[in-house]
Chain A
Amino acid sequence: MASKNQGSAPRALVVEDIKVDCVILMHMLHKLNCEATVVENGKEAVDLFVEGKTFDIVFLDKDMPLMSGPEAVAKIRAMGATEVKIVGVSADFGGQEAFMQAGADVFVPKPVKLETVAAMLEVMMLGASGEAPRKVDHESHSDETKSFAKMKPPEKEIKM
């Protein structure tokens, strides 16, 4: 059902009910040049697929109202959406088994780190688009953001 998105920005779907986590992941995806859509629970995610929407990658939280992440994954796969990459995300390590049994491609524990998302996109999307996602340059900080940026400890190398 999900078509390959060749030569344009990866299309990501974020399925997350916790606003803080949603804002952070959306910002990471924006920095990595993804077009990101967000919904608040598994049912809304499934509804998008029923409507014929296509995505290259889906990030789902595990515990959400109305429909959990694993349940949504199972329904999305049952609809024939076998090409879309599905990432299960949870602070609950027990979520890995539930997501993988439901048909997710990979599980990532919370809190999610930018380098993890970047590496995942590079591996997962390289075959689809032929191009690696845009690399994040943490060295270029303008005066506008110097206050918080200056407070950080020595830079960790982002391995892409």
Chain B
Amino acid sequence: MSAANQLAALIANMFATGLLDDQFQQLQMLQDPSAPNFVSEVVTLFCQDGERIIGELAKQLDKPSVDFDRVDAFVHQLKGSSASVGALKVKNTCIQFCELCQQKSKDGCLKTLETVRINFYELRGKFQTMLQLERQVNGFPPNN
């Protein structure tokens, strides 16, 4: 299967499995000759930022006395950026996470953090594959 076909199939699968929603289509529509790498730049930024936030959440929840307002602030950031790139599954998990912060449930937050981590890294892996395929379609060798 050609790289272009693999890319199309991957993106279709990400929509079909609920990883992405129509906001990702907004990003695709924003890409144009003046910004040919717009989608890859936004996706890369989301992945970097998401990893940072998940690290911060783990630190906050590891404290003996958890500052749930601070945890909520980080979750809010991840929820916002997930919504902006169309990362549906991550966004929905963040919504649950916010509710648990309101309830000040440390156990609930820890369990949900694990779910966020799993969903985020699943999405990040697919985004990385997407970007590799995109490079091949554009005639560049894949990154190592």
Binding site for B on A (CB under 8 A): 17-21, 23-24, 27-28, 30-31, 63, 91-92, 110-114, 138, 140-142, 144-145, 147-153, 155-156
Contacts and interface: CB of A to CB of B under 8 A. Distances in A.
A23 B30 CA distance: 11
Interface string B53-92: 0000000000000000000010011011101111000000
Given A144-B33, A145-B36, A151 B8 contact: yes
A156 to B, nearest CB: 8
B118 interface: no
B23 interface: yes
On chain B, which size bracket covers the interface? Answer: 35 or more
Q: Interface majority SS on B: helix, strand, loop or mixed?
A: helix
Of listed B26, B27, B42, B137, residue having the most chain A CB within 10 A: B26
Contact of B33 (A30, A141, A155, A156): A141
Contacts, number: 93
Interface of B: 4, 7-8, 11, 23, 25-36, 38-39, 41-42, 45-46, 49, 73, 76-77, 79-81, 83-86, 134, 137-138
A141 to B, nearest CB: 7
B28 A111 contact: no
A20 B42 contact: yes
Given A18-B49, A92-B76, A111-B26, 11 more contacts: A19-B81, A20-B42, A20-B45, A20-B46, A27-B35, A63-B73, A110-B80, A111-B83, A111-B86, A144-B33, A149-B31
Contacts of A113: 26
B28 A151 contact: yes
Nearest to B46: A20
B30 A147 contact: no
